[in-house]
Structure 1
Amino acid sequence: MDPDISIMFQCPFMGELTQDKVQVEISPTYNRRVLRGHEQKIEDIWQQRRQEKPWLFDGAKFRFHSAKLENGTLTLRLGLTCYKDYLGTNWSAEATLLQQQGLADFDDSQAYLAEPLGVGAMLHTADNCFVFLRRSDQVAEAAGQVDIPGGHPEPKATVKDVPEESIQLEHLVGVLVVQELFSSILGEIRDEVNVPLESLSRPVLLGIARNNKSAGRASAEFYVRCKLTSEEVRQRYLIGGPEAQESTNIIFMKREDVLMLEENANGWRELCPSAKGGVKLYSLVCPQLD
């Protein structure tokens, strides 16, 4: 296994985990533990990153704690975190020390880390290609590398009339969180690739991969079919969507090449960890979705 990633959960081979087979358990137990000596460092890191990239903004995120598959239903255990804490913990130069302290204090290497749950999509076109994007130099992480469409599900999308900075766990409703998890990946595809939602299938969850380059941050990886051909997708991408600035180029790869990608040293090296996680899970699960 590539040291950049680890697979913490995968759907059974050729299986399907659709939205109706996923539930969430929300609890303050699943929030990040506070380490007093590091909290000011989080604030200092954030101020420095904002000076370097003024377009960065903080926001509430779902914090991934763990997952359990039982009787065909996947339960995700989630808390709340934010992007500022993510940069100040998972991306801190002291992330390894935080993991060691977490193990010592709670027998949990991720206890002091923000761990915002990401989403990514293995997007499969009508002519049997998968969609990859070359990340822009403006993005906060993995700049210039090849990725799959993705981002983060947003707590603010599940609540009404609550300012984002005021969102608390008690505002979150489990069924709406699951809905946001599955709908957010379709929204990311629409915004990054500029394909209409009506051209996309219902997402199937492949599993959850950890990005070891960002201290084990977890991402839910999905499989989505697109009714458009690769050339039709390319033309839509060239028009540009709301998040067109996040990438500089679109890349298409045949399914058979994707399944062999891990053996292609040069191609695999170009992928950022989130893309590696998606490709690995797709090759392990190989869903059959019409």
Structure 2
Amino acid sequence: MLDPEVSLLLDCAHWSGLLEHQVQVELSDRFNRQTDPLLEQHINQTEDGGGTSQKTSQPKHHPGSVLTLRLGLTCYKDYLGTNWSGEVADLRCRGQEEFGDPLALLAQPLGVGAVLCTCDGQVVFIRRSQKVAEARGLLDIPGGHPEPKAVCERLGEAAGKDQISLVMMEQRPDAVVSELFSSICAEIRDEVNIPWSSLGAPVLMGIALNHTSAGRPSLEFYISCSLSSDEVRTLYWKGGAEANESTDVVFLSTTEVMQLNRSSPLWSEMCPSAKGAMLLYQVVKPGEPSKPNREER
């Protein structure tokens, strides 16, 4: 099922999803976006809206792990000035011509999202507020992005408010992987008000690309919840730290989610990140009995 707004860069169907110990990262400034004076001048004229985030490059397989993600650093301002630029088509052409990569000049911040499934078989969606910057009023899944600053804080780095130690993170890639997996639980806690203790271990289903923001990548996870849909609804309406980002909570059964497609009435109400997660859920089918893993034979 093709959708112009979203595509899948990677699915982990062979393993029915990947756990944290099966993922590695290769972090380096070699994977940062390429720059030039004119582009930087344009970005500096962009209104800044946030802090630093992680940029992703092409994932690859690596000995000793199932998947290695190549990551650099970027920020929200660069995201607005490249992926959301009115000149993004030109930036992609220049990236291909000058660097052999249409994404070379784009920020490509790495997002995270979750198919959150309650104990009574309901998948949790939230209705985005009309006041948020992207996908206003559309159905979404809980999500956001990893925080490099959180990695430095976890490692005890005495950094200033906006300082990120790339050197320290390069020395501790395990802490970066931990942030990739834990950040989605933090987003669920803040957006849906579900306590961390009620969430199962995140299972990485794959990577989806949002083509409404020039192919921005997002890690999409499956997470089980020990609470019922009624309990989740009650907690949601009590309000979490980021309750202002959504206006309602909506539930679909796992059966309904498996049957979603472009002809479904709800499909047009979903933002690209939710669509990507649904496509991955339908392909990976997490929660089913595990398929044989070639590396474990």
One fold, TM greater than 0.5? yes
SS at match of 1:68: coil
Alpha-carbon distance in structure 1 between the residues aligned to 2:161 and 2:22:
28
- After TM superposition, the structure 1 stretch with the greater mean CA deviation from structure 2, 202-211 or 168-177, is 168-177
Q: How many residues align?
A: 281
Kindly state the Cα deviation for residue 87 of structure 1 after the two structures are TM-superposed: 0.8
SS at match of 1:163: coil
Unaligned runs of 5+ in 2: 290-297
Unaligned runs of 5+ in 1: 48-56
Kindly state the Cα deviation for residue 69 of structure 1 after the two structures are TM-superposed: 2.8
- Asked if 1 retains the 8 angstrom alpha-carbon contact of 2:115 and 2:220, the reply is yes
1:97-131: CA deviations, max 9, x gaps?
A: 11111011111111000011000000001110100
- What does 1:211-250 align with in structure 2 at a 5 Å threshold? 211-250=210-249
* RMSD over equivalenced CA pairs, Å: 1.4
- Which residue number corresponds to residue 276 of structure 2? 277
- What does 1:1-290 align with in structure 2 at a 5 Å threshold? 1-13=2-14, 15-46=16-47, 57-70=49-62, 73-159=66-152, 160-172=157-169, 173-288=172-287
Letter in 1 for 2:8: I
Identity %: 49
SS at match of 1:186: helix
Alpha-carbon distance in structure 1 between the residues aligned to 2:15 and 2:137:
33
Kindly state the Cα deviation for residue 163 of structure 1 after the two structures are TM-superposed: 2.0
Alpha-carbon distance in structure 2 between the residues aligned to 1:288 and 1:203:
11
Alpha-carbon distance in structure 2 between the residues aligned to 1:69 and 1:270:
35
Give me the TM-score of the superposition, normalised by structure 2. Answer: 0.91
Alpha-carbon distance in structure 2 between the residues aligned to 1:202 and 1:212:
29
Alpha-carbon distance in structure 1 between the residues aligned to 2:91 and 2:17:
36
SS at match of 1:138: coil
Alpha-carbon distance in structure 2 between the residues aligned to 1:104 and 1:230:
51
Alpha-carbon distance in structure 2 between the residues aligned to 1:69 and 1:192:
33
- After TM superposition, the structure 1 stretch with the greater mean CA deviation from structure 2, 166-175 or 85-94, is 166-175
Letter in 2 for 1:277: G
- After TM superposition, the structure 1 stretch with the greater mean CA deviation from structure 2, 137-146 or 160-169, is 160-169
| 1:113–1:142 distance in 2 versus 1, CA, 3 Å | same
Alpha-carbon distance in structure 2 between the residues aligned to 1:118 and 1:144:
19
Kindly state the Cα deviation for residue 171 of structure 1 after the two structures are TM-superposed: 2.6
- Which residue number corresponds to residue 294 of structure 2? none
Alpha-carbon distance in structure 2 between the residues aligned to 1:67 and 1:261:
28
Alpha-carbon distance in structure 2 between the residues aligned to 1:255 and 1:41:
45
SS at match of 1:202: coil
- Which residue number corresponds to residue 53 of structure 1? none
Kindly state the Cα deviation for residue 263 of structure 1 after the two structures are TM-superposed: 4.3
Alpha-carbon distance in structure 2 between the residues aligned to 1:269 and 1:214:
17
- After TM superposition, the structure 1 stretch with the greater mean CA deviation from structure 2, 257-266 or 61-70, is 257-266
